[in-house]
A and B are shown apart, each in its own frame.
Chain A
Amino acid sequence: MAKNIGRRVLQTLLVLFCVSLAIFILLRIVPGDAITTMMGEHADAETIARLTAEMDLDKPFYVQFWTYLKDICTGNFGTSYTLHKPVTELLAAAFPNTVKLALIAAAIAWMIGILCGVVAAVTKDGILDRLFMGFSLFGVSIPVFMVAMVLQYLIAYRLGWVSISGVEKWTGFILPAVALGWNSAGSIARLTRSTLVEVLQEDYIDTAKAKGLGRPAVIFLHALRNAMLPVITMMALQISSLLSGAVITETIFSINGIGRLAVDAITSRDIPLLQGTVLFTTVIVILGNLVADCLYTVLDPRIRKGA
């Protein structure tokens, strides 16, 4: 167990190192010059020289990378070129919104997805099964931005139930979260159904029934726990798609979150900000996977000993 965790932590650190290296290289080979971005077109030569020295831009590559690594390890992501604030501060301001959005989206999507999947599986080939599966196919095949705009038009504009954009009020999160979670709900529902249908054919389900357990106990205590194993893997994978989906949803619904920060950073070539957002997102995705792995270990005793 301890060995496992140690290995996982090492793996995580290695991934983080590679990602930071990749980001560092990528952002330095894209066209556009940091100083010009910062100072505008009219900066004089002296200022440029001074800033270049200050920011170590005249030093060799590995020195720059070392400084950058040291900085991110101490939580210093530099200062945004365009917003003139520490990147850490900007991230801290944007992060809660993204977290709320992603969490609400995940909660809605996973709850609805699992519920529909379970109902579909236990009423296999029945009306509810067909209805939910048809609906979920719809769910997985429509892109996020489309759902977002349709929801925005119908529910916010036409019906006026919630505001079109902004999250000043708590209800502002509902539409973006639904839009963002839409795809995830569809795929979770389909996966839950198919694994549950399979699990319900297993011999140990007969054993559980033969004991005299009622249908709910058989499904929730015995079948679902086994059926959830692949579903959890998918949930972990969805964390990254939820975060990338957040870029779109946050933009459409004008939510001040990490996704929008990243978009702004890209359009204005704000390298420190972009570095910060990408690294930050990477850490979250990795942590999500770590949590999923731990959950998996809790749910499946065969892994606990084996791997």
Chain B
Amino acid sequence: MEECLLEINHLKSYFFTRKGVSPAVDDVSLRVPRGKIVGIVGESGCGKSMTAKSVMDLLKYPGRIAGGTILLEGRDLTKLGSRERRKIRGEDISMIFQEPMTSLNPVVKVGKQVREAILVHQKVDRTEAKNRVLEVFRQVGISEPEKRYECYPHELSGGLRQRVMIAMAMVCKPKLLIADEPTTALDVTIEAQILKLIKELCKNSGMSCLLISHNLGVIAQMCDYVYVMYAGKIVEQGDVFTLFDHPAHPYTKGLLASIIRLDEQRERLSTIPGVVPNLMHLPKGCAFCNRCPESSARCETERPELYELREGHASRCFGSLESEASHE
């Protein structure tokens, strides 16, 4: 196995609400090797952002990490004090958010917002920092960087703002970039540009990336390794080729069936019927069982584990375990 940069083990991030405990992230383990792009995919509300925010220590009350470890180069982030944790944010790990429209402070010039990221972590003077910002602006494809530096967020388009966010994330040369649906709010052409940019930046700087998306197309195009999440749990994991060619979990199959293929003529776009169960009232058995076309009696009473099917490919489904057994 390649050298591992980020290793999340049995992470539990729960919301302790008045009505009960909501396990938004339940026993999630994942690994991000150095220099690789790892994807998390799943429907809305399955806990993708909460996983990312747990790593960044950005969970909001009443949410908090209830168990597990988050190792960055072997150091457990959950055990660090807030000061050390803060040093890691922005310097070792940085994050791009879903909504470029609202993730920049509306009353501060974008250049200054990016410059701030340098000034927190490094002892450089303001002009030096500004030059670095301009350089990164050029790197992420912002034309006329000097002019943009003085702009306020409302003066920039969504695509440009997301480039500013990427510049902010890149400016301290982090080891890991967490991109939480970086292109969901953008239109298709801009999406392609931004994704290309992220991929290039990773390749050129050796940075790892944890890319979150609900769009399997994006994941296929970008990632080396993929985790599929459902209702707070990882339901399938595997490298991108295995996952797309031999999906094992019915949920992954459903997701794959629901993406539009341009080379195929289909009467109807297939969707997964039913809705995600309420996290506070999960069924006794498999969480996907009420929507699963392949469910059996066992699925309703027993919770499947994540079964390793072959090296690096695992699925949380009794069915995939059985079919794998029959293959051999």
CB-CB nearest 9 A-B residue pairs: A212-B90, A301-B152, A203-B102, A212-B89, A211-B90, A204-B105, A203-B103, A211-B117, A210-B95
What are the residues of chain A within 8 A of B99 when measuring CB–CB? Answer: 203
Pairwise interchain contact A210-B108, C-beta atoms closer than 8 A? no
A85 at the interface (CB under 8 A from B): no
Pairwise interchain contact B152-A210, C-beta atoms closer than 8 A? no
Q: Closest residue of chain B to A223, judged by CB?
A: B105
Tell me the complex Cα distance, A132–B99, Å: 35
Pairwise interchain contact B121-A212, C-beta atoms closer than 8 A? yes
Tell me the complex Cα distance, A203–B121, Å: 21
What are the residues of chain A within 8 A of B152 when measuring CB–CB? Answer: 301-302
Pairwise interchain contact B168-A204, C-beta atoms closer than 8 A? no
Tell me the complex Cα distance, A208–B60, Å: 14
Q: List 15 A-B contacts (CB under 8 A).
A: A203-B102, A206-B58, A207-B103, A207-B105, A210-B94, A212-B89, A212-B90, A221-B116, A226-B106, A301-B106, A301-B152, A302-B106, A302-B107, A302-B154, A305-B155
What are the residues of chain A within 8 A of B90 when measuring CB–CB? Answer: 210-213
Interface size class of B (residues with CB under 8 A): 20 to 34
Tell me the complex Cα distance, A208–B104, Å: 9
Pairwise interchain contact A204-B102, C-beta atoms closer than 8 A? yes
Q: Closest residue of chain A to B152, judged by CB?
A: A301
A278 at the interface (CB under 8 A from B): no
What are the residues of chain A within 8 A of B87 when measuring CB–CB? Answer: 212
Pairwise interchain contact A212-B86, C-beta atoms closer than 8 A? yes
Q: Closest residue of chain B to A208, judged by CB?
A: B105
Q: How far is the CB of B9 from chain A (nearest CB, A)?
A: 23
A214 at the interface (CB under 8 A from B): yes
What are the residues of chain B within 8 A of A203 when measuring CB–CB? Answer: 97, 99, 102-103
What are the residues of chain B within 8 A of A27 when measuring CB–CB? Answer: none
Q: Closest residue of chain B to A306, judged by CB?
A: B154
B236 at the interface (CB under 8 A from A): no
What are the residues of chain A within 8 A of B26 when measuring CB–CB? Answer: none
Tell me the complex Cα distance, A301–B154, Å: 9
Pairwise interchain contact A210-B58, C-beta atoms closer than 8 A? yes
The answer to whether residues A222 and B89 also contact, given A207-B168, A210-B56, A211-B168 and a CB cut-off of 8 A, is: no
Tell me the complex Cα distance, A211–B129, Å: 15
Tell me the complex Cα distance, A237–B10, Å: 55
What are the residues of chain A within 8 A of B94 when measuring CB–CB? Answer: 210-211
Pairwise interchain contact B154-A214, C-beta atoms closer than 8 A? no
Pairwise interchain contact A206-B154, C-beta atoms closer than 8 A? no
The answer to whether residues A211 and B105 also contact, given A203-B97, A206-B58, A206-B97 and a CB cut-off of 8 A, is: no
- Contacts A206-B53, A226-B105, A300-B107 aside, 13 further interface pairs with beta carbons under 8 A come to A204-B106, A206-B97, A207-B105, A209-B56, A211-B89, A211-B116, A211-B168, A212-B86, A213-B90, A213-B116, A225-B107, A300-B106, A302-B106
> What does the 1/0 interface line of A192-220 toward B look like (CB < 8 Å)?
00000000011110111111111001000
Pairwise interchain contact B104-A209, C-beta atoms closer than 8 A? no
> What does the 1/0 interface line of B32-56 toward A look like (CB < 8 Å)?
0000000000000000000001001
Q: Closest residue of chain A to B98, judged by CB?
A: A203
> What does the 1/0 interface line of B163-199 toward A look like (CB < 8 Å)?
0010010000000000000000000000000000000
Which residues in chain A, 282-307, are within 8 Å of chain B measured between CB atoms? 299-302, 305
What are the residues of chain B within 8 A of A226 when measuring CB–CB? Answer: 105-107
What are the residues of chain A within 8 A of B165 when measuring CB–CB? Answer: 207
Q: How far is the CB of B75 from chain A (nearest CB, A)?
A: 16
User: B residues touching A (Cβ–Cβ < 8 Å)?
Assistant: 53, 56, 58, 60, 86-91, 94-95, 97, 99, 102-109, 113, 116-117, 120-121, 152, 154-155, 165, 168
Pairwise interchain contact B106-A209, C-beta atoms closer than 8 A? no
Interface size on A, residues (CB 8 A): 23
What are the residues of chain A within 8 A of B53 when measuring CB–CB? Answer: 206
The interface centre, meaning the residue of B60, B94, B99, B106 with most chain A CB atoms within 10 A of its CB, is B106
Tell me the complex Cα distance, A302–B105, Å: 12
Pairwise interchain contact B108-A222, C-beta atoms closer than 8 A? yes
Tell me the complex Cα distance, A212–B106, Å: 19
> What does the 1/0 interface line of A35-79 toward B look like (CB < 8 Å)?
000000000000000000000000000000000000000000000
Return the contact of A207 from the options B97, B120, B121, B155 (Cβ within 8 A): B97
What are the residues of chain A within 8 A of B168 when measuring CB–CB? Answer: 207, 211
Tell me the complex Cα distance, A178–B289, Å: 66
What are the residues of chain B within 8 A of A305 when measuring CB–CB? Answer: 155
What are the residues of chain A within 8 A of B154 when measuring CB–CB? Answer: 301-302
Tell me the complex Cα distance, A133–B105, Å: 28
Return the contact of B117 from the options A201, A212, A214, A300 (Cβ within 8 A): A212
Q: How far is the CB of A79 from chain B (nearest CB, A)?
A: 50
The interface centre, meaning the residue of B94, B104, B105 with most chain A CB atoms within 10 A of its CB, is B105
Pairwise interchain contact A210-B89, C-beta atoms closer than 8 A? yes
Q: Closest residue of chain A to B58, judged by CB?
A: A206
Pairwise interchain contact A301-B107, C-beta atoms closer than 8 A? yes
What are the residues of chain A within 8 A of B117 when measuring CB–CB? Answer: 211-212
The answer to whether residues A204 and B104 also contact, given A210-B56, A210-B94, A211-B168 and a CB cut-off of 8 A, is: yes
Tell me the complex Cα distance, A203–B181, Å: 14
What are the residues of chain B within 8 A of A214 when measuring CB–CB? Answer: 86
Pairwise interchain contact A211-B103, C-beta atoms closer than 8 A? no
Tell me the complex Cα distance, A214–B106, Å: 20
What are the residues of chain A within 8 A of B86 when measuring CB–CB? Answer: 212-214
> What does the 1/0 interface line of A170-208 toward B look like (CB < 8 Å)?
000000000000000000000000000000011110111
